[in-house]
Structure formats: structure tokens, C-alpha cells
Amino acid sequence: MSKVIDTKEPLVTATAMSVISLSSEDSSDAEGEFSSLTLADDFTPLPAYKAAGTIETDFDGLLSAAKTLRLHEDLTNGCGGQLWPAGMTLARYMLRYHARSLAGKRILELGAGGGLVGLAVARGCDLGENHAPFYITDQMEMFSLMRHNIALNKLEGKVEPMLLNWGEPLPAEIVANPPDVILAADCVYFEPAFPLLQTTLIDLLSVRPEAVIYFCFMKRRRADMQFLKQARRRFCVTEIDDDERPVWSRQGLFMFAITSKENGKTQGGKEGE
């Protein structure tokens, strides 16, 4: 169950997206693989702008009343500031299937926006008494919103906001404490970000080959499936079997576990599955 508990009047102007450009330094193999994305003609429509406000949700009872998640939405600095269906779906999956399997795991959320998935995991999953580093990451435009939502759920000291620009070298903290579990839901809005995301995924699996990436997205354009095609070449990609799949698949949602090919073989997974 979700409900709005506080709203503000919408601002007169809002930044619809954070523009990401591919510089000459970024035009590597990844750009070549995704060259058809940069000038694609099927851009995702801008989301309908809505007033900033705070919602609370227990994910239909998956969180107890004491752990209900509160999340502030604000589109002022980009479309990452609102809830997206893939985020709700991935959060529900993690709460249902991984509530007791994350103790001691280092966790990182990519393209977190307001931090829906990561904060839901932090609220509802057993991370152990001496929990490992837990980061929710995005660009500077989302930093204050991530920090606000961490405080809103009293998770200071348990979850840390961090700047992570895809395609750039990983922050020193991530290299020193590479994540075991990586969460990503509807994290790409602007198509030229796809090759940058792939570069970051490669880097993350390089510093922690045993890591698992839980990746959920809604198919809105050809570029989404093109990214998946390229991911299958680089990684072991396994579609996730979820009891709620008949429901969310009708919404055009897809959910995958992504691992390094070496790790996928070790675990007995089929490549490209």
C-alpha cells in the first residue's frame, strides 16, 4: 500500500533530465557498440510533471508498520526524482526473496534517484548486526534527494549517498569495498548513457567478479533491448523467475541477474539465458 502524506505546489520550471554527453574520451568500444543509440528516434516521452511530495509504502505488507518506507519525490532536478514501476518491482523482489540472504553483503544501488530500491532493502532485509558498506549512488543532481530520503527513514550511518558518474573511474571507496550486490532499476532515461552504464558495470565486475547485479527495466524503446543484447555479449545474463512475473511482465517490465561470465559458469548458470 502506498499513500501520499505530504505535498508541495509544483515549481514553475523543472529540469526534465540530466544531459549526458559522450566526449571524445568516451568514444571507446562501448560507444561503437551503441552507436545506433546516440541518435535514436524513439526517445522515451517525458514523464508527466507532478507536485513534489512524500509517500509512504509498506509494499503490500512486505514491510512491517514499524519499517514502512517514506520517500520524498521531487522532479526539480531530474526525472530520477520520482518513483518508477521497475523500482517498485525490484524492491518487492528483493524483499520477498532476499530478506535473509544479504547479511554481511556490501550493497550498491546504481542510478538510485531518490533511493527507492536501496532504502527498501535497508529497511526490510536483514543486513546483519555489523553491516557492510551500503551505498546509493547517482549524479550530483540527485545527491540532496538521496541524502534527504536517507534521513527521512533514519538510515544515517547505515546507508551512504555517493556520487558515481558512469563511465568515469570508480570512487576509491568502491574500489576498496567492492559491492557484492548491485541494484539497478529503470536507471537509464537518456539513451547515450547506455554505453557509460556498460562501462561502469564492467568496472564493478572487474573489482568484484563474484558480484551479482539485479537489473530491472521497462521496455520503452529499441535501445533498451539493444543494451540487453550487448550485455549478453559481455556478461552472463539470466532472466529472474518471480512468482509475480505474470503481473509485472504485462507492464513491459523485465528483470535479470547479471554476473561475470566466469562467475556465471562457476555457479552453473547458462550464459545468455
Q: Does 111 appear as a known binding residue?
A: yes
Q: Does 166 appear as a known binding residue?
A: yes
CB 137 within 8 A of CB 108: yes
Pick the CATH number of 2-266 from 3.30.460.80, 3.40.50.150, 3.40.190.80, 3.40.1670.10: 3.40.50.150
Kindly report the CA angle at 192 between 189 and 194, in degrees rounded to 5? 75
Mean pLDDT estimate for the chain: 80
Q: Burial letters for 68-86: b for 16+ Cβ neighbours within 10 Å, e otherwise?
A: bbbbbbbbebbbbbbbbbb
Range in 77-91, 136-150, 186-200, 221-235 the model is least confident about: 77-91
Distance CA 214, CA 216 (A): 7
What is the tens place of the pLDDT at every residue in 36-53? 333 344 444 555 556 778
Q: What is the DSSP letter of 125?
A: S
Q: 163 by DSSP, 3-state: which?
A: strand
Q: Does 211 appear as a known binding residue?
A: no
Q: Does 99 appear as a known binding residue?
A: no
CB 49 within 8 A of CB 42: no
Check residues 146 and 76 and name the one with the higher pLDDT. 146
202 Cβ neighbours under 8 A, 6+ residues apart: 234
Distance CA 158, CA 132 (A): 9
The helix (run of H) or strand (run of E) holding residue 110 is: strand 107-110
Q: Does 30 appear as a known binding residue?
A: no
Residue 104: band (very low, low, confident or very high) from pLDDT cuts 50, 70, 90 = very high
Q: Which residues partner with 138 through β-bridges?
A: 163
Q: Grid coordinates in use for 115?
A: 533511493
Residue 96 class from Cβ within 10 Å (0-12 exposed, 13-18 middle, 19+ buried)? middle
Q: Is the pLDDT of residue 177 over 60?
A: yes
Q: Does 248 appear as a known binding residue?
A: no
Q: Could you give phi then psi for residue 79, rounded to 5 degrees?
A: -70, -10
C-alpha dist (Å) from residue 26 to 30, 31, 131, 197: 8, 7, 36, 12
The whole-number pLDDT of residue 155 equals 97
Q: Does 114 appear as a known binding residue?
A: no
* Average pLDDT value for residue range 20-33: 39
* Average pLDDT value for residue range 166-179: 96
The whole-number pLDDT of residue 100 equals 96
Ordered by start, the domain boundaries in the chain are: 2-266
Distance CA 47, CA 58 (A): 24
Q: Is the pLDDT of residue 209 over 50?
A: yes
In this structure, the strands spanning 69-73 and 53-57 are antiparallel
* Average pLDDT value for residue range 54-78: 88
